[in-house]
Structure 1
Amino acid sequence: MESLLHIQNLKCGGCAHTIITRLEELEGVTNVVVDNEAHSVGFNYTEAEELESVKTVLSTLGYPVEGESNPVTKKAKSFVSCAIGRLNS
């Protein structure tokens, strides 16, 4: 199945690198694509549980799905994820 999630706090290629790297580690999740302009993440998955895992990982990294709570702590996590992504890309 294909999914496209609109996320919060997405800023740059560093963010995208971190998101792609972490989501591709999930079993059953493939073809991860991040669109910085649209603030979205597209991917394929096979089971409903994998979709929930993707949402959980995104939130943990500081990129909650639009409509979810986005407190300062999540915004701060996204800056850390962004910096890590820049260093590793």
Structure 2
Amino acid sequence: MTSIIPIQNLKCGGCAKTIISKLEEIPTVTNVSVTIETSSVSFDVLKQEDIATVKSKLKSIGYPSLDEENSVLSKAKSFVSCATGKLSD
């Protein structure tokens, strides 16, 4: 099943690259893509429960969904994730 999650703190291709690489580490998640213009992540999962796993992973790397708190810590993590994505070229 395809899911789309609108997220916070998405700034650039570096962010997108980090998000894709981290979500692809989850065995039950496939076809991950990030749309910077709409600040959203789309992906396929096998079970509904896998969506919660994706949301948790996104929050842990600084990109909480729109329905979650965007704390200062999340914003800081997103800057680190962004830089990591840019440097991994």
TM-score over 0.5 for the pair = yes
Please list every run of 5 or more consecutive structure 1 residues that lacks an aligned counterpart in the other structure: none
Determine the C-alpha separation between the residues in 2 that align with 1:28 and 1:73: 27
State the identity as a percent.
54
Name the aligned partner's letter for residue 54 of structure 1: V
Summarize deviations over 1:26-70 as a string: whole Å, max 9, x none: 011000000000000000000122111100000000000002100
Please list every run of 5 or more consecutive structure 2 residues that lacks an aligned counterpart in the other structure: none
In structure 2, the residue matched to 1:72 is: 72
Name the TM-score, length of structure 2 as normaliser.
0.97
In structure 2, the residue matched to 1:63 is: 63
Superposition RMSD in Å? 0.7
Offset of residue 12 of structure 1: 0.3
The DSSP-based 3-state class of the residue aligned with 2:23 is: helix
1:49 corresponds to 2:57:
no
The DSSP-based 3-state class of the residue aligned with 2:33 is: strand
Greater share of helix residues, 1 or 2?
1
Count of residue pairs brought into register by the alignment: 89
Q: Which runs of 4+ in 1 moved over 2 A?
A: none
In structure 1, the residue matched to 2:8 is: 8
In structure 2, the residue matched to 1:88 is: 88
